[in-house]
Amino acid sequence: MSTSATPPLQPFAIRFGADNATLEPQGPTLQRRMSDLEGLFADRRAWEQAVADGDPVVYTVVSSPVPETARELPQSITTIFPGDTGGEFWMTKGHQHPDPQGEIYLGLEGHGGLLLFDGERAEWLDISPGVIGYIPPGWAHRSVNVGDEPYRFLAVYPGSAGHDYGWVLTHGMGLRARRSADRVELVPFGTPAGTAGPTARSH
């Protein structure tokens, strides 16, 4: 199965291949390259350079065949590769669910962060293997790889939630995660690239 199944679904088990993050049976998959992340990194010139320098794959998303329809509960595994662009750790685009509903993430490999923003408050959750991050309804979310190896997590979300990527382009995400020596520096979203974050929080 390589596309979403058609309801009514029958009970079935999904096997996770830990070595290469496959799901069996598997549904839709996607990969996002640097060129797909326009307008997201603070340092636009560094982003343009990265696109010109081979346009690397930043993350992949592998889904189970459970469809994104009402009452179903789709799952996907995201793998964010390690790296930074202009000092900002590689990350997902980030989105809001237009039909606000909760979502859970489970860390599988590597070390990452779950950045949450409700339009006013920003929160950061450290996610490592075995940690479950809860995303309450109405909080936009973005994942960040803050380690030196691929960061991988399972997401489970209501099938009718939808995905709004424009919200993040309009409202930002409250904070950015930057590489600083051997630690993670969280700076206010509007901090210009290359400057020290005056109110940076370190992790």
DSSP secondary structure string for all residues of 94-111? -BB-SS---EEEEEEES-
> What token pair was written down for 26?
């598997």
Question: Is 96 a binder of ligand 6PG (CB under 6 A)?
Answer: no
Q: Which is nearer to ligand 6PG, 78 or 191 (CB)?
A: 78
Please, what is the end-to-end C-alpha distance for the chain in angstroms?
A: 41
Rounded Cα distance, 187 and 161, in Å: 29
Q: How far is the CB of 45 from ligand 6PG (least distance, A)?
A: 23
Q: Which is nearer to ligand 6PG, 141 or 176 (CB)?
A: 141
- Give me the phi and psi of 46, to 5 degrees please: -65, -40
Question: Is 133 a binder of ligand 6PG (CB under 6 A)?
Answer: no
Buried b (16+ CB within 10 A) or exposed e, 84-112: bbbbbbbbbbbbbbeeebebebbbbbbbb
Q: Which of residues 80-109 bind Ni ion (CB under 5 A)?
A: 103
Q: Which of residues 15-54 bind ligand 6PG (CB under 6 A)?
A: none
Rounded Cα distance, 7 and 66, in Å: 9
Question: Is 76 a binder of ligand 6PG (CB under 6 A)?
Answer: yes
Q: Which is nearer to ligand 6PG, 103 or 123 (CB)?
A: 103
Q: If contact means CB under 5 to 8 A according to the sort of partner, which of ligand 6PG, Ni ion, none does residue 179 touch?
A: none
Q: Which is nearer to ligand 6PG, 109 or 197 (CB)?
A: 109
> What token pair was written down for 190?
């509007």
Q: Give the interface with ligand 6PG as residue ranges (CB under 6 A).
A: 61, 76, 78, 92-95, 103, 141, 143, 155, 157, 163
